[in-house]
Amino acid sequence: MKVFVATGSDERQPVGRAVDGEMVWIQTNPPCAECGCRWSVTGLASDKVAPAFTVVDRPDLDFREYARLMCDAWRRRGWPLPESKRSALDSFARLHLEVAGRFEVGEELSFRRGCLHRTVVAADRC
């Protein structure tokens, strides 16, 4: 299963970044002070943003576990998630997996000015 993980969070980055290799999810935020972008990725475990992310293959992970990790992240943020809304979260998780599946393993990505950019390859996906 292909998933997104944080990259580019080394010691040169500001404090408060997701840990390299941590699974992340795409979300909208208040506009970034640097570029005005409202998109970023946030660590599922740390709830911290990542400057970039990459696609990895996680054969040890199945959909149920992935959706559970995403559900746990939402609950830690204080977002109520009644069982009646679980199908919406499952759809959100499936969307992430579908998007990750469109990229090659190892492909590094980031959001800039509202567009998804490949870091290694110059092509953009807006």
Distance (Å, whole) CA 37 – CA 21: 23
Report if residue 70 sits inside a domain: no
- What are the helix (H) ranges across 1-126? 63-76, 86-101
Its domain, for residue 99, covers 2-60+94-125
Report if residue 80 sits inside a domain: no
- Quick one: which of 46, 11, 8 has its CA closest to 23? 46
Distance (Å, whole) CA 73 – CA 27: 12
Query: From first to last of its 126 residues, what are the pLDDT tens digits of the chain?
Result: 999 999 865 555 555 677 888 999 887 665 566 655 656 788 888 888 887 899 999 999 999 999 999 888 888 888 776 676 778 888 889 999 999 999 999 998 887 766 777 875 434 444
- Quick one: which of 116, 122, 98 has its CA closest to 52? 116
Report if residue 12 sits inside a domain: yes
Report if residue 67 sits inside a domain: no
Report if residue 81 sits inside a domain: no
Report if residue 79 sits inside a domain: no
The total of structural domains in the chain comes to 1
User: What does the pLDDT read at residue 126?
Assistant: 43
Report if residue 85 sits inside a domain: no
Distance (Å, whole) CA 112 – CA 81: 30
What are the structure tokens assigned to 119, written together?
């870091």
H helices then E strands: how many in the chain?
2, 8
- Quick one: which of 12, 26, 34 has its CA closest to 100? 26
SS3 116: strand
Report if residue 86 sits inside a domain: no
Distance (Å, whole) CA 110 – CA 41: 8
State the pTM of this model. 0.79
